[in-house]
A and B are shown apart, each in its own frame.
Chain A
Amino acid sequence: MNRLSLISLLWLVIRRDLLLAMRRRADVLTTLIFFVMVVSLFPLGVGPEAEMLRKMAGGVLWVAALLSSMLSLPRMFAADHLDGTLEQMMLAPQSLTVMVLGKITAHWMLSGLPLVLIAPVLGLQFDMSVAAILTLMLALLLGTPVLSMIGAVGAALTLGLRGGGVLVSLLVLPLTIPVLIFGAGAVEAVNSGLDAVSNLALLGAFLLFALVFTPFVAAQALRISME
């Protein structure tokens, strides 16, 4: 039996999930389109005054990112659960935690990273300053992986339940509120001429904290859901 190092296992899972996603590109695109759509609804809802839009842009983009990451969560484990791959992963002698981390990373690359990349365009629509846009991108870059990680726990707990999609949002959204507060706070700080470092540092701390605990907790949750 060939021995797999943890890194190559991680890479294997990521590559597999990305490959699968590339075969079904529509899934990735729908999340992105949803994000753009939700953001575009706000100016229509609250009115097009540039002053107000500039002020609320950070918060709006963050809330939209939160919602669209919720939308893609049920997909994280569902397909593997249906075709039995997940069971094989659990039976494998390799660490389930690392495999879950791989799935989380792939999920982020497909649902979080596109949001980070499209955010500047939407920021321009909201007449944000360049500094604010850069801060927003950095905050999203630090924050969206946390959303995928916390989301993985929720997705694992609700695996195969009826109405799982709504339930996962109910479970995960309260836990993501700190990310929202400090993510939007970073943009707000730049807008009011302050330093965004403390907000970004806290987001970085969340990221590290989540990186240590959530893959393990999500793996445990998968075991509970699959037994």
Chain B
Amino acid sequence: MAINWFKYSAPTNFYALAGKLIPWFAWPAAILFGIGFYIGFFVAPTDAVQSEAYRIIFIHVPASILSMFIYLIMAGYAALGLIFKTRLSAMMASALAPTGALFAFISLWTGALWGKPMWGAWWVWDARLTSEMILLFLYLGFIALQASIEDPRRADRASALLAIVGSVNVPIIYYSVQWWNTLHQGSTIKFSGTSMHVAMQQSMFIMLVACWLYAIAIALARVRSIILEREANTHWVKELGEKA
């Protein structure tokens, strides 16, 4: 059977597909958020060193991971759009940007809340904090550039180039705790094993998956709006309006 791999690269087809997929990501995300919060707040034991304040990692770590990961995915879509001139890729990139910026902001915000009791300061000028802040600026620059160009084609291509250039920052953030001797602690979970309690691990993992599913669901919802906006003059969108 021949599969048409490119069927869903057409915005028309993807619009319908995304609509069907959203509940499959949104509901599990909601359920996992519930489980993750429950384990994080009630099951996971109090940390010996950091007492109750450590519980913020259950949102801080997933948000930080996703802020970096989403940037790479966004840059990947942007590159696809730039190279193959596929419209949908560029739309996906712009749909992901606000979510990535949100996660970068949550990461900085929760980090500040955690830093006050632990380090005694809301903010320190440490390599990881600074590079995460640059990441937030890069997201904002991407969104601002896209917003200020009228012609959507040029907006897509210009912001794609910016996203690709900015992606040099992601490895810097990731390795900053190893390259520089910083105040921010290194990762506790390694492939060789971890010193973490099982319930803490579970909660963090569940929260990571939940954030991930949330990001996918919200990006799909956003890309549907973008598709409608961009294709507003086409026949199929008008038909859609008549049906509804």
Could you tell me which A residues sit within 8 Å of B by CB distance? 153, 157-158, 161-163, 167, 170-171, 173-175, 177-178, 217, 220-221, 224-225, 227
- Which chain B residues border A153 with CB–CB below 8 Å? 161, 165
Can you name 23 A-B pairs with beta carbons within 8 Å?
A157-B161, A157-B162, A158-B145, A161-B148, A161-B149, A162-B148, A167-B144, A167-B148, A170-B141, A171-B144, A173-B137, A174-B137, A174-B166, A174-B169, A175-B165, A175-B166, A175-B169, A177-B130, A177-B134, A217-B165, A221-B161, A225-B154, A225-B158
A53 to B181, CA, bound (A): 28
Is the Cβ of B158 less than 8 Å from the Cβ of A221? yes
Interface size class of B (residues with CB under 8 A): 10 to 19
B184 at the interface (CB under 8 A from A): no
B154-181 contact mask (Cβ, 8 Å, vs A): 1 or 0:
1001100110011001001000000000
A177 to B165, CA, bound (A): 14
- Which chain A residues border B130 with CB–CB below 8 Å? 177
Could you tell me which B residues sit within 8 Å of A by CB distance? 130, 134, 137-138, 140-141, 144-145, 148-149, 154, 157-158, 161-162, 165-166, 169, 172
A-B interface, 4 closest residue pairs, ranked by CB to CB distance from nearest: A174-B137, A224-B157, A171-B141, A174-B134
- Which chain B residues border A174 with CB–CB below 8 Å? 134, 137-138, 141, 166, 169
A48 to B191, CA, bound (A): 54
A158 to B141, CA, bound (A): 11
User: B27 → chain A, closest Cβ, in Å?
Assistant: 37
- Which chain B residues border A173 with CB–CB below 8 Å? 137
User: A158 → chain B, closest Cβ, in Å?
Assistant: 7
- Which chain B residues border A167 with CB–CB below 8 Å? 144-145, 148
Is the Cβ of B162 less than 8 Å from the Cβ of A171? yes
Q: A153-B165, A224-B157 are in contact. List 6 more A-B contacts (CB 8 A).
A: A157-B158, A163-B148, A174-B137, A217-B161, A221-B161, A224-B158
- Which chain A residues border B149 with CB–CB below 8 Å? 161
User: A151 → chain B, closest Cβ, in Å?
Assistant: 12
A224 to B162, CA, bound (A): 12
- Which chain B residues border A170 with CB–CB below 8 Å? 137, 140-141, 144
